[in-house]
């Protein structure tokens, strides 16, 4: 079933209503939540217009199975209990989902999506201090960590079939994780190259294997 919990708070001449809509069923459900305070709904707005799903009386949208959606609005009317209620809900037909508004705040984004959609804030490789980079790498990171990354890349470089490649990408997480591994190996090679015989040997392996990982093929596969 669909559960609604509400909290209302009066601030000056305005009531602020917070809603939590939870779909405990195993199917997407379209829900209508109606305001019960004595006054119009002042909904959240985007560029001057009410946000998707909102109108003068309340909110309508789709809540996915297991999803918890937080909503909020303001109203000039005095607080009352309950401040809002579900007036109807129905199982959402899958063919109609793209035509009518989904819930505000619904997201299925994960950490990898955030990296993909937003800029990388890390300092560029060429501004990381070149004179102290090697020392910092050794202070910050054992050779064991570098060897582990080389070994992961060696597995990727051995992928000769589509199924091998798919499995290898999945073991790393996703394509972006493979790309980050290659970038990290390039950083390792650059820093280790300045750090002595064992480090130079590792640098050579890291640089070679970073080139051997078939990134172009993995990107086509993804």
Nearer to other proteins, 90 or 123 (CB): 123
Say how far apart CA 36 and CA 32 lie, in whole Å.
13
Number of Cα atoms under 13 Å in the Cβ half of residue 133: 17
Binding of other proteins at residue 52 (CB under 8 A)?
no
Contact positions with other proteins (CB under 8 A) in 101-160 = 104-107, 109-112, 114-115, 117-123, 125, 127-129, 132-133, 136-137, 140-141, 145
Binding of other proteins at residue 221 (CB under 8 A)?
no
Shortest separation between residue 95's beta carbon and other proteins, angstroms: 25
Residue 96 DSSP one-character state:
G
Nearer to other proteins, 90 or 119 (CB): 119
Say how far apart CA 78 and CA 189 lie, in whole Å.
66
Cβ-contact 187, 125 below 8 angstroms: yes
Shortest separation between residue 44's beta carbon and other proteins, angstroms: 6
The runs of H, that is alpha helices, within the chain are 111-117, 130-140, 143-157, 162-172, 175-192, 197-212, 215-221
Nearer to other proteins, 105 or 193 (CB): 105
- Using CB under 8 A, count the residues that bind other proteins: 44
Sequence-ordered list of residues with C-beta below 8 angstroms from that of 16, at least 6 positions apart, any chain = 8, 9, 10, 72, 73, 74
Q: Where on the chain is the footprint of other proteins (CB under 8 A)? A: 9, 11-12, 14, 16, 20, 44, 46, 68, 70, 72, 74, 104-107, 109-112, 114-115, 117-123, 125, 127-129, 132-133, 136-137, 140-141, 145, 180, 184, 187, 191
């Amino acid at each position: 079933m669909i559960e609604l919990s509400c909290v209302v708070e009066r601030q000056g001449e305005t009531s602020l209503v917070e809603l939590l809509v939870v779909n405990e069923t195993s199917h997407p459900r379209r829900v209508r939540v109606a305001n019960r305070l004595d006054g119009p709904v002042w909904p959240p707005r985007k560029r001057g217009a009410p946000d998707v799903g909102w109108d003068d009386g309340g909110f309508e949208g789709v809540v996915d199975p297991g999803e918890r959606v937080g909503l909020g609005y303001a109203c000039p009317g005095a607080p009352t209990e309950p401040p809002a209620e579900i007036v109807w809900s129905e199982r959402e037909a899958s063919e109609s989902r793209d035509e009518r508004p989904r819930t505000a705040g619904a997201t299925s984004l994960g950490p990898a999506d955030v990296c993909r959609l937003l800029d990388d804030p890390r300092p560029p490789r060429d501004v990381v201090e070149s004179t102290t980079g090697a020392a910092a790498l050794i202070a910050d990171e054992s050779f064991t960590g570098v060897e582990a990354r080389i070994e992961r890349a060696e597995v990727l470089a051995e992928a000769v079939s589509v199924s091998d490649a798919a499995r290898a990408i999945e073991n790393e997480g996703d394509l972006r994780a493979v790309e980050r591994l290659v970038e990290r190996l390039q950083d390792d090679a650059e820093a280790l190259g300045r750090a002595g015989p064992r480090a130079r040997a590792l640098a050579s392996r890291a640089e070679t294997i970073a080139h051997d990982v078939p990134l172009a093929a993995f990107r086509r596969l993804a």
